Amino acid sequence: MTVIEMFFQHDHPASQGHFPGNPMIPGAVLLSETAHAIAAGLDSAPALYQVRSAKFLHPVRPGDRVLIRFSRDARGEIRFTCAVETRPVLTGQMACSAPPTAK
């Protein structure tokens, strides 16, 4: 299991307008940033990933630190969970066509 920390700035531009007085990071941004962080953690290009499933459980707010926990099996299937503190906010599965790198 690999763990990566991601931080959304208090003034993150994607939160403007989502929603006035109750800002949150849009799900598409959270999923995109998660995919990019996992790709970087596996030393591969984000374009090699295909999201198979994603379930948004709780909102992520500007200023939140998100912990991404993921694992990859031999077939390239990646299961991930994102959490703010101990609360899961996103779970899902992706596939990667790049071969695993030796670390």
Which residues are catalytically annotated?
A: 18
CA dist., res. 56 & res. 64, Å (int) = 15
Neighbours of 39 (CB within 10 A): 19
List, as own/partner pairs, every contact residues 70-79 make where C-beta atoms lie below 8 angstroms and the sequence separation is at least 24, other chains included.
Answer: 70/1, 70/2, 70/4, 70/38, 70/41, 71/1, 71/2, 72/42, 72/96, 72/100, 74/100, 76/100, 77/52, 78/38, 78/49
